[in-house]
Structure 1
Amino acid sequence: MIAKLKLQNERLQQLLKPKLKLLVTRWQLLQTREQQLLIAMAVFIVASVVFYSVTGLMKYNNRLSRDVENLNQFTLFSKQAANWYKVLNKVQANTFNQVNLTQAKADVAQILQVKDPDILIQDDQMTINVPNVQYNQVVTLLEQFRRSYALFPTQVNVIRQSKAGYVSFNAIFWVKQ
Protein backbone atom coordinates (compact mmCIF):
# COMPACT_ATOMS: atom_id res chain seq x y z
CA MET A 1 0.00 0.00 0.00
CA ILE A 2 2.79 2.41 0.96
CA ALA A 3 4.72 1.41 -2.14
CA LYS A 4 1.71 2.32 -4.31
CA LEU A 5 1.45 5.71 -2.60
CA LYS A 6 5.16 6.39 -3.16
CA LEU A 7 4.80 5.42 -6.80
CA GLN A 8 1.82 7.74 -7.25
CA ASN A 9 3.69 10.54 -5.46
CA GLU A 10 6.65 10.17 -7.85
CA ARG A 11 4.34 10.24 -10.89
CA LEU A 12 2.62 13.34 -9.56
CA GLN A 13 5.97 15.06 -8.99
CA GLN A 14 7.09 14.17 -12.52
CA LEU A 15 3.90 15.71 -13.94
CA LEU A 16 3.91 18.83 -11.78
CA LYS A 17 7.64 19.74 -11.75
CA PRO A 18 7.73 21.08 -15.31
CA LYS A 19 4.52 23.00 -14.86
CA LEU A 20 5.71 24.41 -11.54
CA LYS A 21 9.02 25.54 -13.12
CA LEU A 22 7.07 27.24 -15.90
CA LEU A 23 4.87 29.00 -13.35
CA VAL A 24 7.89 30.18 -11.32
CA THR A 25 9.64 31.53 -14.42
CA ARG A 26 6.54 33.41 -15.52
CA TRP A 27 6.14 34.80 -11.99
CA GLN A 28 9.70 36.09 -12.07
CA LEU A 29 9.05 37.76 -15.42
CA LEU A 30 6.22 39.83 -13.90
CA GLN A 31 6.89 43.27 -12.53
CA THR A 32 6.57 43.92 -8.81
CA ARG A 33 3.29 45.77 -9.21
CA GLU A 34 1.78 42.92 -11.25
CA GLN A 35 2.92 40.41 -8.62
CA GLN A 36 1.27 42.49 -5.89
CA LEU A 37 -1.96 42.68 -7.90
CA LEU A 38 -1.99 38.90 -8.41
CA ILE A 39 -1.34 38.31 -4.69
CA ALA A 40 -4.16 40.70 -3.76
CA MET A 41 -6.51 39.01 -6.25
CA ALA A 42 -5.61 35.55 -4.90
CA VAL A 43 -6.20 36.73 -1.31
CA PHE A 44 -9.54 38.23 -2.36
CA ILE A 45 -10.62 35.01 -4.10
CA VAL A 46 -9.59 32.86 -1.13
CA ALA A 47 -11.36 35.23 1.29
CA SER A 48 -14.51 35.17 -0.89
CA VAL A 49 -14.53 31.38 -1.04
CA VAL A 50 -14.07 31.16 2.73
CA PHE A 51 -16.77 33.81 3.34
CA TYR A 52 -19.34 32.14 1.09
CA SER A 53 -18.52 28.73 2.52
CA VAL A 54 -18.99 29.96 6.09
CA THR A 55 -22.22 31.86 5.34
CA GLY A 56 -23.58 28.88 3.43
CA LEU A 57 -22.81 26.60 6.35
CA MET A 58 -24.44 29.07 8.76
CA LYS A 59 -27.59 29.24 6.63
CA TYR A 60 -27.66 25.45 6.40
CA ASN A 61 -27.25 25.21 10.19
CA ASN A 62 -30.10 27.70 10.75
CA ARG A 63 -32.35 25.77 8.36
CA LEU A 64 -31.54 22.51 10.13
CA SER A 65 -32.22 24.12 13.52
CA ARG A 66 -35.63 25.32 12.29
CA ASP A 67 -36.43 21.86 10.93
CA VAL A 68 -35.43 20.23 14.22
CA GLU A 69 -37.54 22.74 16.16
CA ASN A 70 -40.53 22.08 13.89
CA LEU A 71 -40.09 18.34 14.32
CA ASN A 72 -39.89 18.74 18.10
CA GLN A 73 -43.06 20.86 18.10
CA PHE A 74 -44.81 18.30 15.92
CA THR A 75 -43.68 15.52 18.26
CA LEU A 76 -44.95 17.46 21.27
CA PHE A 77 -48.30 18.19 19.60
CA SER A 78 -48.60 14.56 18.53
CA LYS A 79 -47.95 13.35 22.07
CA GLN A 80 -50.52 15.82 23.44
CA ALA A 81 -53.07 14.74 20.84
CA ALA A 82 -52.41 11.08 21.66
CA ASN A 83 -52.89 11.76 25.37
CA TRP A 84 -56.10 13.71 24.71
CA TYR A 85 -57.34 10.90 22.49
CA LYS A 86 -56.63 8.35 25.22
CA VAL A 87 -58.43 10.47 27.81
CA LEU A 88 -61.39 11.13 25.53
CA ASN A 89 -61.52 7.50 24.50
CA LYS A 90 -61.97 6.51 28.16
CA VAL A 91 -64.86 8.95 28.69
CA GLN A 92 -68.29 7.49 28.22
CA ALA A 93 -71.50 9.42 27.88
CA ASN A 94 -73.38 10.01 31.10
CA THR A 95 -70.91 8.44 33.49
CA PHE A 96 -70.88 11.56 35.66
CA ASN A 97 -74.19 10.96 37.35
CA GLN A 98 -77.15 8.68 36.73
CA VAL A 99 -80.48 10.30 35.89
CA ASN A 100 -83.70 9.17 37.51
CA LEU A 101 -87.15 10.37 36.54
CA THR A 102 -88.06 12.05 39.83
CA GLN A 103 -84.82 14.04 40.02
CA ALA A 104 -85.12 15.13 36.37
CA LYS A 105 -88.73 16.21 36.93
CA ALA A 106 -87.71 18.16 40.03
CA ASP A 107 -84.91 19.94 38.14
CA VAL A 108 -87.14 20.78 35.18
CA ALA A 109 -89.96 21.99 37.46
CA GLN A 110 -87.59 24.16 39.48
CA ILE A 111 -85.70 25.72 36.58
CA LEU A 112 -88.54 26.09 34.08
CA GLN A 113 -91.04 26.98 36.83
CA VAL A 114 -93.74 24.54 35.68
CA LYS A 115 -95.86 22.39 37.99
CA ASP A 116 -95.91 19.02 36.23
CA PRO A 117 -93.37 18.81 33.38
CA ASP A 118 -93.87 16.24 30.63
CA ILE A 119 -90.80 13.98 31.00
CA LEU A 120 -90.52 10.40 29.79
CA ILE A 121 -87.59 7.98 30.10
CA GLN A 122 -87.90 5.03 27.75
CA ASP A 123 -85.40 2.89 25.79
CA ASP A 124 -82.36 4.83 27.07
CA GLN A 125 -83.89 8.12 25.91
CA MET A 126 -85.27 10.91 28.04
CA THR A 127 -87.81 13.17 26.34
CA ILE A 128 -88.73 16.57 27.79
CA ASN A 129 -91.69 18.48 26.39
CA VAL A 130 -92.69 21.87 27.82
CA PRO A 131 -95.12 23.96 25.73
CA ASN A 132 -94.74 27.50 27.12
CA VAL A 133 -91.53 28.57 28.86
CA GLN A 134 -89.02 31.46 28.79
CA TYR A 135 -86.08 30.97 26.45
CA ASN A 136 -83.40 31.90 29.02
CA GLN A 137 -84.83 29.26 31.38
CA VAL A 138 -84.42 26.64 28.62
CA VAL A 139 -80.76 27.61 28.23
CA THR A 140 -80.33 27.41 32.01
CA LEU A 141 -81.93 23.94 32.04
CA LEU A 142 -79.61 22.67 29.30
CA GLU A 143 -76.61 24.05 31.21
CA GLN A 144 -77.86 22.42 34.43
CA PHE A 145 -78.22 19.03 32.73
CA ARG A 146 -74.73 19.38 31.28
CA ARG A 147 -73.19 20.18 34.68
CA SER A 148 -75.22 17.86 36.90
CA TYR A 149 -75.66 14.79 34.73
CA ALA A 150 -73.20 15.31 31.86
CA LEU A 151 -76.16 15.17 29.50
CA PHE A 152 -76.17 16.76 26.09
CA PRO A 153 -79.30 16.75 23.96
CA THR A 154 -79.34 14.57 20.88
CA GLN A 155 -82.26 16.52 19.46
CA VAL A 156 -83.68 19.93 20.43
CA ASN A 157 -86.78 21.66 19.08
CA VAL A 158 -87.38 25.25 20.16
CA ILE A 159 -90.39 27.01 18.63
CA ARG A 160 -90.95 30.72 19.25
CA GLN A 161 -94.30 31.61 20.76
CA SER A 162 -96.36 34.72 20.09
CA LYS A 163 -95.45 36.16 23.49
CA ALA A 164 -91.97 37.78 23.44
CA GLY A 165 -89.23 35.67 25.06
CA TYR A 166 -91.37 32.51 25.32
CA VAL A 167 -90.80 29.27 23.43
CA SER A 168 -92.13 25.76 23.15
CA PHE A 169 -89.33 23.37 24.14
CA ASN A 170 -88.83 19.73 23.20
CA ALA A 171 -85.55 17.84 23.76
CA ILE A 172 -84.34 14.26 23.62
CA PHE A 173 -81.35 13.09 25.67
CA TRP A 174 -79.55 9.76 25.53
CA VAL A 175 -79.37 8.38 29.07
CA LYS A 176 -77.80 5.26 30.44
CA GLN A 177 -80.09 3.35 32.78
Structure 2
Amino acid sequence: MPYHTSSSISACFTHKLATHPSFSIVFMGDSKLRILFYSFLQRTDNVFHYNLKTEHSNDTETLAQHLNRYVSLHEDIDATTEVLPGLQVTFWFRIFAEVTMSDMELLREVQQLRRWATGLDKPPDLLVLGYTAWMMKLVTVYHQYNVLSYLIEMHELVVPLLEQVG
Protein backbone atom coordinates (compact mmCIF):
# COMPACT_ATOMS: atom_id res chain seq x y z
CA MET A 1 0.00 0.00 0.00
CA PRO A 2 1.43 3.42 -0.88
CA TYR A 3 1.86 5.76 2.07
CA HIS A 4 1.49 9.10 0.36
CA THR A 5 -2.19 9.69 1.15
CA SER A 6 -3.74 10.60 4.46
CA SER A 7 -5.96 7.51 4.40
CA SER A 8 -3.03 5.13 3.87
CA ILE A 9 -1.01 6.86 6.60
CA SER A 10 -4.03 6.63 8.91
CA ALA A 11 -4.38 2.91 8.15
CA CYS A 12 -0.69 2.35 8.93
CA PHE A 13 -0.85 4.22 12.26
CA THR A 14 -4.14 2.55 13.23
CA HIS A 15 -2.60 -0.87 12.55
CA LYS A 16 0.50 -0.01 14.60
CA LEU A 17 -1.54 1.37 17.50
CA ALA A 18 -3.73 -1.75 17.57
CA THR A 19 -0.74 -3.66 18.97
CA HIS A 20 1.23 -0.88 20.69
CA PRO A 21 0.07 1.74 23.20
CA SER A 22 1.79 4.62 21.42
CA PHE A 23 3.48 5.71 18.21
CA SER A 24 5.76 8.73 18.27
CA ILE A 25 7.30 10.69 15.44
CA VAL A 26 9.97 13.28 16.17
CA PHE A 27 11.14 15.84 13.64
CA MET A 28 14.42 17.21 14.99
CA GLY A 29 16.32 19.91 13.16
CA ASP A 30 16.21 23.38 11.76
CA SER A 31 13.88 25.30 9.48
CA LYS A 32 13.88 22.63 6.77
CA LEU A 33 12.62 20.05 9.26
CA ARG A 34 9.96 22.46 10.51
CA ILE A 35 8.68 22.72 6.93
CA LEU A 36 8.56 18.91 6.69
CA PHE A 37 6.75 18.73 10.05
CA TYR A 38 4.08 21.20 8.93
CA SER A 39 3.75 19.49 5.55
CA PHE A 40 3.20 16.15 7.23
CA LEU A 41 0.56 17.64 9.55
CA GLN A 42 -1.20 19.43 6.69
CA ARG A 43 -1.24 16.25 4.60
CA THR A 44 -2.87 14.22 7.40
CA ASP A 45 -4.91 16.80 9.32
CA ASN A 46 -8.08 15.95 7.38
CA VAL A 47 -8.03 12.55 9.12
CA PHE A 48 -6.40 13.32 12.48
CA HIS A 49 -7.58 16.88 13.29
CA TYR A 50 -4.45 17.68 15.27
CA ASN A 51 -4.25 19.65 18.48
CA LEU A 52 -1.00 21.61 18.74
CA LYS A 53 0.79 22.84 21.82
CA THR A 54 3.95 24.93 21.74
CA GLU A 55 6.63 24.88 24.40
CA HIS A 56 5.78 28.38 25.64
CA SER A 57 2.02 27.95 25.93
CA ASN A 58 -0.32 25.79 27.95
CA ASP A 59 -3.10 26.24 25.39
CA THR A 60 -3.83 23.87 22.55
CA GLU A 61 -5.05 24.91 19.14
CA THR A 62 -5.99 23.32 15.86
CA LEU A 63 -3.47 23.22 13.04
CA ALA A 64 -5.45 25.90 11.17
CA GLN A 65 -5.46 28.18 14.23
CA HIS A 66 -1.76 27.62 14.72
CA LEU A 67 -0.89 28.41 11.11
CA ASN A 68 -3.13 31.50 11.04
CA ARG A 69 -1.33 33.31 13.81
CA TYR A 70 2.22 34.42 14.26
CA VAL A 71 4.19 31.59 15.79
CA SER A 72 7.68 31.58 17.14
CA LEU A 73 9.65 29.68 14.55
CA HIS A 74 12.27 28.50 17.03
CA GLU A 75 10.15 26.62 19.52
CA ASP A 76 9.18 23.02 20.01
CA ILE A 77 5.70 21.88 19.01
CA ASP A 78 3.68 18.81 20.00
CA ALA A 79 0.79 17.56 17.87
CA THR A 80 -1.70 15.05 19.23
CA THR A 81 -5.01 13.75 18.02
CA GLU A 82 -8.16 12.43 19.65
CA VAL A 83 -8.69 10.19 16.60
CA LEU A 84 -5.62 8.10 17.59
CA PRO A 85 -4.80 9.04 21.19
CA GLY A 86 -1.50 7.12 21.15
CA LEU A 87 -0.11 9.11 18.22
CA GLN A 88 2.24 11.97 18.96
CA VAL A 89 4.04 14.05 16.34
CA THR A 90 6.69 16.42 17.65
CA PHE A 91 8.95 19.08 16.21
CA TRP A 92 12.12 20.03 18.10
CA PHE A 93 13.92 23.07 16.74
CA ARG A 94 17.59 22.09 16.94
CA ILE A 95 20.35 23.60 14.81
CA PHE A 96 23.28 21.27 15.56
CA ALA A 97 25.79 24.12 15.72
CA GLU A 98 28.24 25.08 18.43
CA VAL A 99 30.72 27.89 18.81
CA THR A 100 33.65 25.48 18.84
CA MET A 101 33.87 22.06 17.27
CA SER A 102 35.06 20.59 20.56
CA ASP A 103 31.76 21.60 22.21
CA MET A 104 29.56 19.60 19.81
CA GLU A 105 29.24 16.80 22.41
CA LEU A 106 27.53 19.31 24.72
CA LEU A 107 24.72 20.22 22.32
CA ARG A 108 21.32 19.27 23.78
CA GLU A 109 20.39 17.58 20.50
CA VAL A 110 23.50 15.38 20.65
CA GLN A 111 22.85 14.67 24.32
CA GLN A 112 19.29 13.57 23.43
CA LEU A 113 20.58 11.27 20.71
CA ARG A 114 23.00 9.82 23.27
CA ARG A 115 20.17 9.23 25.79
CA TRP A 116 18.21 7.37 23.12
CA ALA A 117 21.28 5.42 21.99
CA THR A 118 22.16 4.30 25.52
CA GLY A 119 18.59 3.46 26.49
CA LEU A 120 18.21 6.22 29.09
CA ASP A 121 15.20 7.56 27.16
CA LYS A 122 12.81 5.61 24.94
CA PRO A 123 13.53 6.64 21.35
CA PRO A 124 10.73 7.74 19.04
CA ASP A 125 9.26 5.16 16.70
CA LEU A 126 10.21 7.37 13.78
CA LEU A 127 12.94 10.02 13.86
CA VAL A 128 13.27 12.57 11.06
CA LEU A 129 16.53 14.43 11.56
CA GLY A 130 18.36 17.16 9.67
CA TYR A 131 21.06 19.65 10.48
CA THR A 132 22.49 21.62 7.62
CA ALA A 133 20.78 24.96 6.92
CA TRP A 134 21.32 26.82 10.20
CA MET A 135 24.52 25.01 10.99
CA MET A 136 26.09 26.07 7.70
CA LYS A 137 25.00 29.68 8.18
CA LEU A 138 26.34 29.94 11.71
CA VAL A 139 29.56 28.17 10.92
CA THR A 140 30.41 30.30 7.88
CA VAL A 141 29.05 33.69 8.89
CA TYR A 142 29.72 33.87 12.61
CA HIS A 143 32.47 31.39 13.28
CA GLN A 144 34.31 31.27 9.95
CA TYR A 145 35.00 27.54 10.17
CA ASN A 146 35.45 25.32 7.21
CA VAL A 147 31.89 24.08 6.64
CA LEU A 148 32.90 20.74 5.17
CA SER A 149 35.20 19.95 8.11
CA TYR A 150 32.48 20.94 10.59
CA LEU A 151 29.88 18.84 8.76
CA ILE A 152 32.19 15.81 8.67
CA GLU A 153 32.85 16.13 12.41
CA MET A 154 29.12 16.43 13.07
CA HIS A 155 28.45 13.32 10.96
CA GLU A 156 31.19 11.44 12.82
CA LEU A 157 29.46 12.31 16.08
CA VAL A 158 25.82 11.86 15.06
CA VAL A 159 25.87 8.83 12.73
CA PRO A 160 27.13 6.29 15.31
CA LEU A 161 24.45 7.51 17.72
CA LEU A 162 21.77 7.11 15.05
CA GLU A 163 23.02 3.60 14.32
CA GLN A 164 22.61 2.75 18.01
CA VAL A 165 19.16 4.31 18.18
CA GLY A 166 18.27 2.06 15.40
Q: TM-score range by the shorter chain?
A: under 0.3
Please state which structure has a larger fraction of its residues in helix: 1
Q: TM-score of the superposition, structure 1-length normalised? A: 0.22
Higher relative contact order (CA 8 A, sep 6+): 2
TM-score by length of structure 2 reads: 0.23
